[in-house]
């Protein structure tokens, strides 16, 4: 009976390590190293979950584990929101120069173009969302952290003026670290220029929808990003003017953990909607339809 309960302990063979075999003078055949192609896997920066990049793209770059909305570049955003055919880009050849002769700025611009595959931090144009015509300006954080220089401000202003002249709604997708300091006062002047263009659009009864994505700070948040007739943000998007550290040092108080997130701004009246990325296209189409002539407005 006890034999059945207390069985003999299994014997395990110990495989000597390569280092031990080399120490004994034995030749060790090299094992082929398994190489994982670059970009095959992706790690969520919030929860650390690792997933296949293709599966993540199918999920619109939203982490399936924690719901974190990863950043999209301008072309990815356009492909996600607009109808497949019909997008016409405006001012595609407009690029930044170095108006003030700022040291190293020209070379940095070239590096940013090569790195991001974009000519500037914003793409503007017109297309349709579920068949409804719209003008769009889509910013991209991967070009100079989406900073607003003279060209970014000019392209957005032209997009607003085009929407005004053609009586079309405009949607601006914002993501930015603020004004581009290499262009100094010329960069700061874009805040007034874009705001003035939006004021003229409003006087003509035009519709402006602002979509705020992570992160949107500095001069961009202080000007056109917060001036929408309807202000929308993606979940968890950080939105504000000055950063947390600067504000805490100024007021000498600890800020809430969710300070400047989309949800925090929604609770404090800074936003109209917080919309999941999977529902954003449908939501925008409904808003455009409601404000179109067909919708009876």
Sheet holding 132-139, edge to edge: 88-90, 122-129, 132-139, 170-176, 208-216, 230-233, 273-274
Neighbouring residues of 84: CB distance < 8 A, sequence distance ≥ 6: none
63 is in an annotated binding site: yes
CB distance 257 to 244 below 8 Å: no
46 is in an annotated binding site: no
277 is in an annotated binding site: no
Neighbouring residues of 11: CB distance < 8 A, sequence distance ≥ 6: none
DSSP alpha helices (H): ranges in the chain? 2-5, 18-23, 53-58, 74-81, 105-116, 150-165, 184-203, 218-222, 244-251, 262-267, 277-291
118 is in an annotated binding site: no
Q: Is the peptide bond before 215 cis (omega within 30 degrees of 0)?
A: yes
**Beta strands at 50-52 and 88-90: parallel, antiparallel or unpaired:** unpaired
Q: What is the CA radius of gyration of the chain?
A: 26
Closest C-alpha among 242, 251, 265, 176 to residue 213: 176
How many angstroms separate the CA atoms of 234 and 212, rounded? Answer: 7
Binding residues: 44, 47, 63, 66
Q: Which residues are annotated as a binding site for Zn(2+)?
A: 44, 47, 63, 66
């Amino acid at each position: 009976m006890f034999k059945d309960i207390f069985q003999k302990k299994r014997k395990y063979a110990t495989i000597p390590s390569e280092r031990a075999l080399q120490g004994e003078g034995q030749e060790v055949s090299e094992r082929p190293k398994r190489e994982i192609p670059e970009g095959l896997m992706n790690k969520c920066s919030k929860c650390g979950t690792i997933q296949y990049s293709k599966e993540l793209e199918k999920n619109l770059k939203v982490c399936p584990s924690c719901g974190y909305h990863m950043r999209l570049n301008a072309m990815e955003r356009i492909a996600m929101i607009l109808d497949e055919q019909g997008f016409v880009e405006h001012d595609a050849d407009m690029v930044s120069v170095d108006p003030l002769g700022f040291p190293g700025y020209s070379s940095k611009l070239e590096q940013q173009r090569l790195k991001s595959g974009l000519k500037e931090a914003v793409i503007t144009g017109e297309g349709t969302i579920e068949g409804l015509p719209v003008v769009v300006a889509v910013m991209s954080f991967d070009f100079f952290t989406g900073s607003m220089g003279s060209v970014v401000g000019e392209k957005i202003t032209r997009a607003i003026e085009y929407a005004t002249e053609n009586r079309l709604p405009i949607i601006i997708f914002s993501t930015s670290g603020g004004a581009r300091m290499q262009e100094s006062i010329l960069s700061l002047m874009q805040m007034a220029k874009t705001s003035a263009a939006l004021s003229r659009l409003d006087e003509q009864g035009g519709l402006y929808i602002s979509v705020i994505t992570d992160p949107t700070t500095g001069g961009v948040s202080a000007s056109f990003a917060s001036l929408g007739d309807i202000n929308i943000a993606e979940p968890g998007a950080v939105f504000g003017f000055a950063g947390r550290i600067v504000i805490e040092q100024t007021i000498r108080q600890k800020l809430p953990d969710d300070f400047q997130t989309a949800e925090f701004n929604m609770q404090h009246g800074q936003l109209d909607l917080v919309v999941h990325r999977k529902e954003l296209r449908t939501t925008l189409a409904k808003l455009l339809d409601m404000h179109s002539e067909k919708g009876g407005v």
